Structure formats: structure tokens, C-alpha cells
A and B are shown apart, each in its own frame.
Chain A
Amino acid sequence: MDETMTVTETQKKAQSESGAVEVSGAEQNPGRLRIKHLLGLEGVCREDIELIFATSRSFKDILDRPIKKVPPLRGQTVVNLFYEPSTRTRISFELAEKRLSADIVNFTASASSVQKGESLRDTVKNILAMKTDVIVIRHPCAGAPHFLTRATDAIILNAGDGSHEHPTQGLLDIYTMWERWGDVKGKRVLIVGDILHSRVARSNIWGLLTVGAQVAVCGPATLMPAFVHHIGVEVFTNLDKALAPGADAINCLRIQRERQSSDFLPSMREYSRLYGIDARRAASLRPGGLIMHPGPMNRGVEITSDVADGENSVILDQVTNGLAVRMAALYLLCGGQAPAKEEGV
């Protein structure tokens, strides 16, 4: 029970420890990440994001080959620790791990000792006692991955923690833009929907600001967190005003029915009318503009079918890119955890 306390207490400290550290020797080693874990995009430097993108591009080439598998994580064990339901992210991580030749253990909270009352720390200690190296974790509590960096020696990847961050989703969204445009700098990206509960929005905002994009967010005032007013982001509650200057990308967030208490929205129908992306609104995209959605889509609520399947839609590219970006993150993080020992070339 005191676990949630520890999580919130340790979150800030863990972030400063593992978010943006280890700069020493980094100039000499452009192929290594400065971060040791991927907990969130807040505080991750531009060089790291660019390195992940450059590496993702090579992994994307591999996905088109007849043999879609490479050996760099051979002999390493990755645990996928999912305390929340997930299809897309878990499959994407699992495939990424398999294509890097890692051994995989899947853990879902509903079918485990968590039901018997075991704490997160004990679960992870037990799994690590079986000599595993990397943990991919999704957890309903914000800060759970940060807590693990303090409780264990494993490399931690955040696959979504509460309403906090979902860094690989943020990376794959920005990678999709970068792949299309060459550079994201100065592009106007509009994120529409439930910003308050969305970890996807948070990761996108931090990552986009780091790579120099112009970020705008739009959603009902009840679903707009206070922090967005202080970080150099345009904030709108009226979608048509938000779209008036034009946008290079519209990222439609899913209305998360499981995180909504009934007080935030009068009705889904009203939400759809005020904030749904339809063909008329999609027409205000600039040339080369992109329609994005992190999935799963509620067709007819936040996005209409003709837009979701239209020519500006890159929603399925996002899924493919997610695989490449997760391979790159796993590959780079595992390479970065170097034991200090001398070796020949």
C-alpha cells in the first residue's frame, strides 16, 4: 500500500538521475545514448532523439528484408511487465525484441501473483533474480518505471505510466513526421483531445519542443492540464480557431473512456461535434500535412472514417514506425549499458 507513496516521492529524484545524465565522454561517442533508461521524453536531449531516429531508419530497412531479424540482443532477456491492458504496444515491443534476437518473458498483472497481493518491487526483484536484463513496463501509476530504476539494476523502458508519459509512442509519432518532412523544426503540430489524461500528448509535447516544432494543443477546458500554459505551447479550446493558422500535422488523441469520470464531457456526441476531425477540418492542413492517431481509434468520435482512411492519414505508418523505433531504443539502450572493460576492435 505504501508503494504509491514511494512512487510519487521518488519520481522526481529518479528523473533527474536517469532522465538526462552521463554526458561525460558523450562527444567522443556519438553512437551511444546519454540516457540509461527510457522513462519519458521530458529532459531527453535533441542528440539522443536524433540518434534514435537515425538508428530507426536502419531498422526500418531490415523490416523490408526477407530475413527480418538481426542478432544484437542475442542472449539477453527482456521482461514485458504489463499492469494495464495493451494490444498494440505489447505486440510492437514483443516483435521488436524478437527481431533483435532477445529472449522474452511476458507478464500480465491479471494472471500473476499481483492478484495475491505482491508489490511491484517484489515482483520485479523476483523476475530479476531469474537473471533478466531489460524490463519494459506499463503501469497505471505515474512514476512506476522511475521507481524501478531505483529498485533494480535492469534497463527500464516505459511503455506508458498512468497519465504521465508514453515515450516510445511520442518517438514514433515524431519519427513519422521526421521521415515525411526531413526536419520537424518550425512545423506546426496540433494535438487534439483529452490532454489531461493523455500520456501520448505529454510525450509528444516534450519531444516536439526538444526538436524545435511549434506545438499547439486543443481540447475541452475540463481536459486541459494547467502545465501546458507555462511551457511555450499554444493552447486552444476552440478547434476551428486552433486550425485557422493551418497545421502541418494533426494528432488526434483517443478519448479514453476508461479514464473518464462522467464529469469531464457532457456527451460523446458533443465532443465529436466540437473536437472530432472530419473532412472539413482536415482540409485546413498545409500541403504535405499529416493526420495521425495513436490508436485504437474510436471512428466517428475523435476522427471520421473518411479522414482516418484518407490520403493524408499516416496512422498505419505510425504502427510500422513504432516497431522500428522500439527496436532502435532497445538496441541503443542495451549498447549504452557498458561494463567498463577493455576489448579489441
Chain B
Amino acid sequence: MSAELISSRPVMDAAAMRRAIERIAHEILERNDGLNDVVLIGIRTRGAPLAERIASVAERVEGSAPPVGYLDISFYRDDLRGSLAQPVVQRTEILFDIAGKIVVLVDDVLFTGRTIRAALDALTDLGRPRAIQLAVLVDRGHRELPIRADYVGKNLPTARAEQVVVQLSERDGADGVVVGRLAAGKKSKPQPALEFGPNNE
């Protein structure tokens, strides 16, 4: 994935990422006074493994893990007719009721805020949570909507044309965050290949 970027620089290594996730988990526990009614929902694709990691840290600290769900926001995007690459729609898997819960949305990069806007709409169609909080690994600025994160792994000043690529060992083989520019002709970051079969994700 980073091979697609030119003049890229690493901004977070595996150890830094681990520490950031630990801190986010502790902040969630502190702010919500434990895990009572807290559920984690990872936004596909890379918010999903991040939510699992936060949950496993919380389990180590509190002795029990919060429920984890996965949200695909494709049907709520505002750029269906735009020129950007569309990722393959994945399944939303939230096997618990979110009504009355404190939902912590988890995503890898907070940029324009449009993904989060779509996720808020998607959650509203699933139920009425008591509160929604937002945890992101990287906040790179350039917001286009009035949205901010409650928990941030790293604030990363970037140029608008730059790309921030989060790599997670679950999907990409190794942990790390790199910033760079796309090689000419590439309009957006490559999307995961279509996975085919009713049960694989």
C-alpha cells in the first residue's frame, strides 16, 4: 500500500500505535466511568480491527470486554455519483441493540468528517443511543463539517493533497502510519480486493 505513495514518511510505528490505542482505551474507561453500557462500533474497513484492539485493552483493564460491532457506511455516503473509487460494500454487523447505549465510534483517520456524518446517519437508522462518542487513531485536520473526535491517537498536521495511510497487521501485515503523496495518475488510495463468499469478511 505504501508503495503507491511517493515521498512518503512514517509518522507512527507499531510501538507508538500500541501506546495510542492503550491511551484511547483508558480515556474511554475514565470518561464513561468503566464499561457500563459502552459499546464499540468500528467503521469498516480499518476502524473494525481498531475497535477490537481497544476492546481487548479494556478487557485486560476491566476484566470484561465491551460488545464490538462493525458498521459499513457505503449506503449513507454523499458521493455516490462522484468520481472517487467506491469500495465494495461490506456487511454491517451489529449484533446488539444500540438503543440507550453509549456508542464509541472507531475509525482510523478523521479527515473531512464526511465518513463520520454518514456513520451518524447509519447509527440513527439502527436505534437511538444515549450518546455517541468518536475515537480516531489519527486526526489529520481539513474538516468540512462541524465534527470533532472525543479520543485522538495522534494529531497530525497534513497538507490537503497528502494521503494518510494507516496499516494494521490484521489486514496489511504490519502496524504503522505513513504520510505521502500519491503517484501521478492515482486518484485515491487502492481499495481492498473483492472478497467473495457468503461468510468471509
Please report A residues at the B interface, Cβ cutoff 8 Å: 28-32, 47, 50-51, 53-55, 57-58, 61-62, 65-67, 69-73, 178-179, 182-183, 331, 334-335, 337-345
Contact assessment for B194 and A70 in the assembled complex, using a CB-CB cutoff below 8 Å: no
Residues of B within 8 A of A340 (CB): 83
Contact assessment for A58 and B85 in the assembled complex, using a CB-CB cutoff below 8 Å: no
Contact assessment for A72 and B89 in the assembled complex, using a CB-CB cutoff below 8 Å: no
Interface size grouping (class) on chain B: 35 or more
A72 touches which of B80, B188, B194, B196 (Cβ 8 Å):
B80
B82 touches which of A50, A183, A341 (Cβ 8 Å):
A341
Contact assessment for B125 and A30 in the assembled complex, using a CB-CB cutoff below 8 Å: no
A1 to chain B, nearest CB (A): 38
Contact assessment for A343 and B86 in the assembled complex, using a CB-CB cutoff below 8 Å: no
Contact assessment for B75 and A62 in the assembled complex, using a CB-CB cutoff below 8 Å: yes
Known: A335-B80, A337-B81, A345-B112. A58 touches B125 (CB 8 A): no
A64 to chain B, nearest CB (A): 11
A129 to chain B, nearest CB (A): 21
Contact assessment for B79 and A343 in the assembled complex, using a CB-CB cutoff below 8 Å: yes
Contact assessment for B197 and A338 in the assembled complex, using a CB-CB cutoff below 8 Å: no
Residues of A within 8 A of B174 (CB): none
Residues of B within 8 A of A53 (CB): 196
Contact assessment for B90 and A58 in the assembled complex, using a CB-CB cutoff below 8 Å: yes
Cα-based distance from A212 to B191 in the complex (angstroms): 26
A-B contact pairs, 24 of them (CB 8 A): A28-B186, A29-B85, A31-B89, A31-B191, A32-B85, A53-B196, A54-B88, A54-B195, A54-B196, A55-B89, A57-B198, A58-B72, A58-B75, A58-B89, A65-B125, A71-B75, A72-B74, A331-B80, A335-B81, A335-B86, A338-B83, A339-B81, A340-B83, A343-B82
Q: Does B23 contact A (CB under 8 A)?
A: no
Contact assessment for A345 and B114 in the assembled complex, using a CB-CB cutoff below 8 Å: yes
Q: Does B87 contact A (CB under 8 A)?
A: yes
Contact assessment for B91 and A342 in the assembled complex, using a CB-CB cutoff below 8 Å: no
Q: Which residue of chain A is the closest to B122 with respect to CB atoms?
A: A70
Known: A31-B88, A341-B82. A71 touches B121 (CB 8 A): yes
Contact assessment for A30 and B198 in the assembled complex, using a CB-CB cutoff below 8 Å: no
Q: Does B126 contact A (CB under 8 A)?
A: yes
Q: Does B77 contact A (CB under 8 A)?
A: yes
Contact assessment for A61 and B92 in the assembled complex, using a CB-CB cutoff below 8 Å: yes
A-B pairs with lowest CB-CB distance, top 10: A31-B86, A70-B75, A343-B82, A67-B125, A29-B85, A58-B89, A335-B80, A55-B89, A31-B88, A30-B194
Contact assessment for B74 and A58 in the assembled complex, using a CB-CB cutoff below 8 Å: yes
Please report B residues at the A interface, Cβ cutoff 8 Å: 72, 74-77, 79-92, 111-112, 114-115, 121, 125-127, 144, 186, 188, 190-199
Contact assessment for B83 and A339 in the assembled complex, using a CB-CB cutoff below 8 Å: yes
Known: A31-B87, A54-B88. A331 touches B79 (CB 8 A): no
B83 touches which of A72, A183, A331, A341 (Cβ 8 Å):
A341
Q: Which residue of chain A is the closest to B125 with respect to CB atoms?
A: A67
Known: A54-B88, A61-B91. A182 touches B74 (CB 8 A): no
Residues of B within 8 A of A342 (CB): 83
Known: A58-B90, A341-B83, A345-B188. A47 touches B75 (CB 8 A): no
Contact assessment for A31 and B125 in the assembled complex, using a CB-CB cutoff below 8 Å: no
Contact assessment for B90 and A50 in the assembled complex, using a CB-CB cutoff below 8 Å: no
Contact assessment for B75 and A50 in the assembled complex, using a CB-CB cutoff below 8 Å: no
A257 to chain B, nearest CB (A): 37
Residues of A within 8 A of B192 (CB): 30
Known: A343-B79, A344-B112. A69 touches B191 (CB 8 A): no
A29 touches which of B86, B91, B196 (Cβ 8 Å):
B86
B80 touches which of A50, A178, A334 (Cβ 8 Å):
A334
A100 to chain B, nearest CB (A): 8
Contact assessment for A30 and B114 in the assembled complex, using a CB-CB cutoff below 8 Å: no
Known: A58-B92, A178-B198, A345-B188. A65 touches B126 (CB 8 A): yes
Cα-based distance from A51 to B89 in the complex (angstroms): 9
Q: Which residue of chain A is the closest to B93 with respect to CB atoms?
A: A61
Cα-based distance from A70 to B190 in the complex (angstroms): 26
Residues of B within 8 A of A339 (CB): 81, 83
Most chain B C-beta atoms within 10 Å of own C-beta, residue among A30, A53, A70: A30
Residues of A within 8 A of B197 (CB): 182-183
B196 touches which of A50, A65, A335 (Cβ 8 Å):
A50
Cα-based distance from A303 to B194 in the complex (angstroms): 38
Residues of B within 8 A of A67 (CB): 125-126
Residues of B within 8 A of A345 (CB): 84, 111-112, 114-115, 188
